[in-house]
Amino acid sequence: MTQTTTARPTDRASGAVVPVLAFAGIVVAVMQTLLVPVVKDLPRLLDTSPSDATWVLTSTLLSGAVATPIMGRLGDLYGKRRMLVTSLAVMVAGALVSASTSDLLLMIAGRTLQGFAMGAIPLGIGLMRDLLPHERLGSAMALMSSSIGVGGGLALPAAALVAQHADWHTLYLGAAGLGALAIALTLLVVPESPVRAKGAFDLPGALGLSAGLVLFLLPVSKGGDWGWTTGTTLGLFGAAAAVLLLWGLMELRVPAPLVDLRTTARREVLLTNLASIMVGVSFFVVSLVLPQLLQLPAETGHGLGQSMVVAGLCVAPLGLTMMFTAPVYARLSARYGPKATLVLGLLIIAAGYGGGLGLMEAAWQTVVTSVVLGTGIGLAYSSLPALITGAVPASETGAANGLNTLMRSIGTSVSSAVIGMVLADTADTVGGTEIPTLHGFRVSFLIATAAVAVGLLLALFLPGGRPSSRLRLRASSEEEAHPERAETALRGLPGRGQDTAGAPVPADGG
C-alpha cells in the first residue's frame, strides 16, 4: 500500500492559486477545441484523405487518455505542480510543431504531444486539495473540474473567428502562447504540494494500461471508418479486453500500483466513475449537434443558416454557464452534499435535452438549450472531484482524479462514435453530399437523455446523507501503524470537521 507524507501549507497559497489553476484547465480545453472550425477542411489543408485526416483528432484522444492517469500518479509521487508544468510544456512543444507544418505525420506528432496536457485537470484538483483551506475547496474544485467545458465553450467562437480571418496555423500559435502563459503563472503563483506518495513508479502498470486504452479507444474512434463488425474492429476490442484484464490482475499484485484497483472498486469511487462516463456522453452530444444544426443552410428545411462565428457564439453560453455554476455548486454542496448536487445536475441535463427536442427552430432556442445544459453539466462536473477526493487517501488524489477524468474522456469518445454513426445513418444525400437530418439530431438528444438516465440511476446508489457523516477517512499502511501520522494525513481531507464543500459540520456529522 502507498505511504504518504503530508502537510497543508495553506499560508503559502495565495488567492490567485485558484484562477491560475483554472486558467490552466481552460487552456487544455482550448487545445482540444481549436480544430473544430476547420475539421471538415483538414483533408484539403493537409493534402490527404478524409480517413487519414481523422488521425489528427484521434492521436490527441489516445495520448490524452494514456497521459491522464499516468501524470496523476507521477504527480502523487514527485510533485503535482512539477507534473502540471511538464504537461503544459509538452503541450506547448506539440502546438509549435503543429504550427510549423502542413505535413500529415508531423501534424499527428504535434497533436499527440498536445494530448499530454489532459493531465493538467486532475493535477490541478490535487493541488487545490493539498494547498487550499477547507472553506475555499468546494468552489475551487468545482471550477477546475468545469474548466474543460468552460474552455471548450469559449474557444469555439474564438477559433472560428481566427479560422475565418487568418491562416489556420495561427490557431496553434495561439494555443502555444496560452500554454506558455499558463506555465509562467503556475511557476509564479502556485506553490508545490508537500503531499507525496512513497514508492516507485509502476512502469509495467503504465505500459499495460496504455496498451489497453489504445486498443479500446482506437476502434471506438475509427470504427465508423473501418466498420463496426469488421475483423479489425472486433479484434481490437477483444485484445483490449484481454490486455486490461491481465493488467488488472497484475495491478492487484503490485505493492504500489499505478491505479489502486481496491480503492477504485469501493462503492462510492466505482459508481462515481461510471456516472462520469454518462456525464461525458451527455456533454459531448450538445457539442456535436448544435454547431451542425446552426451552420446547415436554411435551404435544407431545418438548418439555421448561421456563420461559423455565430454558431460558436450560440454555443458559448454552455461554457459560460458552467463557469458561473461553480459558486452555486459550492453553496448547494455545503448544504446537501455532492451526491445531491450530482443528482440535481443530471435532472437539469435531462430537462435540457428533453426540452431541446422542440427547440431547434431558431438560433435563440439553441442558446436557451445551451444555458440549461451548461447549468446541469456544470453541477454534475463540479460534484465529481468532491466525491472522488472524499473517498480516497490524500496520497492517491492525483491518480484517482486522473482516472475519473479518463472516465469522462471515455464517455466523450463513445459519444462521438455513437452520435457520428447516428447522424451518418440518418443523413440525406443531396448532390453527393450527406446532410444531417432533424430526425438524426433528435435521436442524438434522445441518446443523451438515456445516458443521463443511466447516470442518475448510478448516482442514486451513491452513499447518501451529509458528506462528512458518510465518508470513510482513508489512511495508508504507514498511517495505520502510526495513528499520529494518520491524524496529520487525514487533516488534509475535506471530510474532517468539514464537508466536501468546506462547510463546518458537527463532530457527529449530524
Q: How many CA atoms lie within 13 A of 405 on its CB side?
A: 39
366 closest CA partner among 318, 423, 435, 420: 318
DSSP state of 117: G
Interatomic CA distance for residues 48 and 108, integer angstroms = 12
The residues near 357 (Cβ < 8 Å, ≥ 6 apart) are 442, 445, 446
- Listed in sequence order, the residues at least 6 apart from 363 whose beta carbon sits closer than 8 Å to its beta carbon are 294, 304, 306, 310, 314
Task: Give SS3 for 8.
Answer: coil
Report the alpha-carbon distance of residue 431 to residue 104 in Å, rounded: 29
pLDDT of residue 187: 95
Task: In whole angstroms, give the CA distance from residue 355 to residue 148.
Answer: 24
How far is Cα 510 from Cα 507, in angstroms, rounded to an integer?
8
Q: What is the pLDDT of residue 485?
A: 40
**DSSP string for 304-325:** ----HHHHHHHHHHHHHHHHHH
Residue 477 in contact with residue 3, Cβ under 8 Å?
yes
Q: How far is CA 199 from the centre of its chain?
A: 27
| pLDDT on residue 58 | 82
Residue 498: strand pairing partners: 504
Q: Digits of tens for pLDDT over the chain (510 positions)?
A: 444 444 444 445 567 898 999 999 889 888 877 887 787 788 888 988 877 888 888 888 888 888 888 898 899 889 999 999 999 999 999 999 999 999 999 999 999 999 888 888 889 988 988 888 877 877 888 888 778 777 777 777 888 888 778 888 998 999 999 999 999 999 999 999 888 888 788 899 999 999 998 999 889 888 878 888 999 999 999 999 999 999 999 999 988 888 888 888 888 899 999 999 999 888 888 888 888 899 888 888 888 888 888 888 888 888 888 888 878 888 888 888 899 999 999 999 999 999 999 889 899 999 999 999 999 998 998 898 889 888 888 777 777 888 888 888 888 888 888 888 888 888 887 776 778 889 999 999 999 999 999 999 999 999 864 544 333 334 333 333 344 444 443 344 444 333 433 333 333 333
Q: What element of type H or E holds 428?
A: strand 428-430
β-pair partners for 435 = 428
Look-up: residue for cell 505525420?
A: 105
Name every residue whose Cβ is closer than 8 Å to that of residue 86 and which is 6 or more positions away in sequence.
71
Judging by DSSP bridges, how do beta strands 3-5 and 196-198 pair with one another? antiparallel
pLDDT on residue 14: 65
Amino acid identity for residue 509 in this structure: G
The H-assigned helical ranges of 190-307 are 203-226, 231-251, 261-264, 267-295
pLDDT, position 145? 77
* Residue 10, strand partner residues: none
Torsion sign over Cα 423, 426, 427, 429: positive
Nearest to 414 by CA among 293, 264, 318, 288: 288
Give CA 167 to chain center in angstroms.
29
| DSSP bridge pairs for 504 | 498
The pLDDT value recorded for residue 316 is 85
What totals of helices (H) and strands (E) does the chain contain, helices first?
Answer: 21, 4
Per-residue cell: 355: 426540452
How much is the pLDDT for 313? 86
pTM, to two decimals: 0.79
Q: Do residues 153 and 322 lie in contact, with contact meaning Cβ atoms separated by under 8 Å?
A: yes
Task: Please name the residue that has the C-alpha cell 499505478.
Answer: 258
- Contacts of 209 by beta carbon, 8 Å cutoff, 6+ apart: 66, 69, 70, 244, 247, 258, 259
Predicted local confidence at residue 510, as pLDDT: 33
Residue 245, pLDDT score: 95
SS3 annotation, 30-78 = HHHHCCHHHHHHHHHHCCCCHHHHCHHHHHHHHHHHHHHHHHHHHHHHH
- Name the grid cell of 372: 440549461
Q: Name the residue with cell 509549435.
A: 96
What is the C-alpha to C-alpha distance for residues 368 and 354, in angstroms, rounded to an integer? Answer: 12
